[in-house]
Homo-oligomer: A and B are copies of this chain.
């Protein structure tokens, strides 16, 4: 997070325009004098509750853009202090043909975004893949982790505690299953650091993304441990930040978080030329240079912009959009085959998605899942495969336009000149 002296100098000039450093210091001072008026708490989403909340809000020229008097009780279990809804435009790319272990067919991709050119790009990629026969997709593994942490006086206590857990771990499966119909404990891993122990509790979570499910199951396991172990920790927490929740981590990338899917497609060069206006060789040149660009900048994995489609699909389909932080990692690879066709593959190990739970039941989100025929139970594996296919479509399209040299123009035209 370093800034060189020349750049800092320029920043200082911006901050100190029209004021002294002491005035800046004054601005930063805590202010306990002015009255503070807290926004009222509440889960209710009826018209009255929402209207009341708007009385605490000033300066909005067209509040009806957020709230137009409609009944919003349907959102009640998904939000607090609700004042209405934001509307995100949603467009369709594809369909994308997916030949997967769970997904099978041509999937329309609902993408919610406010960024021009995004859907056009994914659409192009989806068409190219589909024209080539579709992408093969395979779910390689799945799992969601919670990581309670336990602190002890000494390493000696920590290993006694670990040993106790090791000896009693069979019981935990039962305890975990008592909390959920869908969550299933897979294994407990032990990550010891000095006198600290982090347990990595790995679960499968059925068709839900499952973060709450694994929290509740882990809480139950921890409480069982605390009530039964002869070694009491100094303190413990149900989550000690080793689960990879809401962040990109090397650990999740190297194992799995949610679902790990690999997709691939082989595209004849004539399709590359026709749709992408470039050659297989140049796309592979791009891949090589961009993969090392990722390495040189310390990304986790190497890929282009999985985040674009994941954010757009997550928002459209009622997923937890904050999970883009962890899901948007993986490896894209392009190779030239002997017949000049392009072999393109993407592997996304951290797709924490679900087709039940979370926001999936909300009205427009449920409709978006229905567009893909993937709403409800039994569909999360296929949904993950389709998401991965969409990510690959985006990689192919953007690399195509960068290789062809028309990336800037495409963005320029679509964003500025309409």
Q: In the complex, are the beta carbons of A408 and B6 less than 8 A apart?
A: no
Q: Pick the contact of A329 from B186, B247, B415 — CB < 8 Å?
A: B247
For chain A, residues 155 to 187, give those with C-beta under 8 angstroms from any C-beta of chain B: 155-156, 159-160, 162-163, 166, 169, 186-187
A32, A140, A315, A326 interface centre (most CB from chain B within 10 Å): A140
What mask results when residues 282 to 296 of chain A are scored 1 for a CB within 8 Å of chain B, else 0? 100110111111111
Q: In the complex, are the beta carbons of A247 and B307 less than 8 A apart?
A: yes
Copies of this chain in its oligomeric complex: 4
Whole-angstrom distance between the alpha carbons of A308 and B216 in the complex?
20
Q: In the complex, are the beta carbons of A11 and B142 less than 8 A apart?
A: yes
14 contacts between A and B (CB under 8 A): A21-B160, A28-B101, A79-B89, A85-B364, A88-B88, A136-B155, A212-B416, A219-B408, A241-B302, A241-B304, A247-B329, A248-B329, A291-B295, A311-B320
A8, A57, A188 interface centre (most CB from chain B within 10 Å): A8
Residue numbers in B under 8 Å from A136 (CB-CB) = 28-30, 154-156
For chain A, residues 28 to 67, give those with C-beta under 8 angstroms from any C-beta of chain B: 28-32, 34, 36-39, 41, 43, 45, 53, 56-63, 65-66
Residue numbers in B under 8 Å from A188 (CB-CB) = 4-5
Residue numbers in B under 8 Å from A304 (CB-CB) = 241, 246
* Residue of B whose beta carbon sits closest to that of A25: B156
For chain A, residues 126 to 171, give those with C-beta under 8 angstroms from any C-beta of chain B: 127, 130-134, 136-143, 147, 149, 151, 154-156, 159-160, 162-163, 166, 169
Known: A86-B364, A255-B1. A141 touches B63 (CB 8 A): no
Whole-angstrom distance between the alpha carbons of A145 and B359 in the complex?
35
Whole-angstrom distance between the alpha carbons of A154 and B123 in the complex?
25
Tell me if A389 counts as interface (CB < 8 A to partner B). no
Whole-angstrom distance between the alpha carbons of A355 and B74 in the complex?
31
Residue numbers in B under 8 Å from A127 (CB-CB) = 38
Whole-angstrom distance between the alpha carbons of A69 and B308 in the complex?
28
Tell me if A258 counts as interface (CB < 8 A to partner B). no
Q: Pick the contact of A411 from B75, B101, B215, B371 — CB < 8 Å?
A: B215
Measured CB to CB, the closest approach of chain B to A356, in angstroms, equals 13
Residue numbers in B under 8 Å from A320 (CB-CB) = 114-115, 311
Known: A249-B299, A253-B1, A311-B322. A81 touches B91 (CB 8 A): yes
* Residue of B whose beta carbon sits closest to that of A184: B10
Q: In the complex, are the beta carbons of B255 and A346 less than 8 A apart?
A: no
What mask results when residues 313 to 324 of chain A are scored 1 for a CB within 8 Å of chain B, else 0? 001101011111
Q: In the complex, are the beta carbons of B28 and A296 less than 8 A apart?
A: no
Q: In the complex, are the beta carbons of B289 and A57 less than 8 A apart?
A: no
Measured CB to CB, the closest approach of chain B to A322, in angstroms, equals 4
Q: In the complex, are the beta carbons of A43 and B418 less than 8 A apart?
A: yes
Tell me if A71 counts as interface (CB < 8 A to partner B). no
